[in-house]
Amino acid sequence: MEDPDYCKAIERKCLILEAIGEYSQAMNMCEVGLRLYDNEFNFDEESIAVVPNLREIIERCERKKP
């Protein structure tokens, strides 16, 4: 079953957007993921593990953004 809020799907979409040069959209998608997964009530290890990756993507996009 397809789940648009699945943490790995969000991370992959961010990576794809970054790879094609859509830095603003990648950062926006990362922010969505951070809002969903960066909270104290989220105990899913896979989701929590994605949070640092999303922050790293944001940092890279900020450096690359014109």
For the segment 24-65, what is each residue's pLDDT rounded down to a tens digit? Answer: 999 999 999 898 887 767 667 778 888 899 999 999 999 998
| Token representation of residue 33 | 């993921």
pLDDT > 80? residue 5:
no
Going by the DSSP 8-state scheme, the letter that residue 2 receives in this structure is -
Q: Which residues of 16-36 are buried (b: 16+ CB within 10 A; e: fewer)?
A: ebbeeeebebbbebbebbbeb
The predicted structure's pLDDT at residue 6? 81
| Alpha-carbon distances, residue 12 vs 8, 41, 54 (angstroms) | 6, 23, 10
How many CB atoms neighbour CB 51 within 10 A? Answer: 19
pTM of the shown model: 0.84
- Residue 37 near residue 49, CB atoms below 8 Å: no
